[in-house]
Structure 1
Amino acid sequence: MIGIATVLAALGGGLLYAGTLTILAAVSVYGRTPSRRRNARATLALLVRSQGRSGSDDEPS
């Protein structure tokens, strides 16, 4: 049986990840300088790409 602490930790991690993506998406659109927007888009792309790979069981580790 999964403990309450495990569930809360998983929810907290998910919320932290979602919050990070939201902030990066906002910076990539509303950043003051083009370089800041470009950096935010690059970081956002890396996070989204790595999240997609971590859920796949097809690739060897």
Structure 2
Amino acid sequence: MFPMLVEESAVAAVLALGAGLVRGLVVAVVALTSVVARTPARRRDARATLTILLRREPRDSFPPGRARIEGSED
């Protein structure tokens, strides 16, 4: 049973690494676009997209549609 857990955690780690690399690549491309785009409108759009990608949510926020229940400790 333990070797299976090790394999599953390794797969999860590789997937997390891949997702992080893809996100970093997307942010880098959008940041580059926000600087070198030919038209001001495209630069503005790229900066707006970059702002959305880099926005941080507070740690205690809940996903949309999930209400906080008074007195609950999630």
The answer to which structure has the higher helix fraction is: 1
Q: Which runs of 4+ in 1 moved over 6 A?
A: none
* Corresponding residue pairs, total: 57
Gaps of 5+ in 1: none
Select 1:45's aligned residue among 48, 51, 70. Answer: 51
Higher relative contact order (CA 8 A, sep 6+): 1
- TM-score by length of structure 2 reads 0.69
Gaps of 5+ in 2: 64-74
- TM-score by length of structure 1 reads 0.82
- Identity rate of aligned residues, in percent? 39
Structure with larger Rg:
2
RMSD of aligned Cα (Å): 1.6
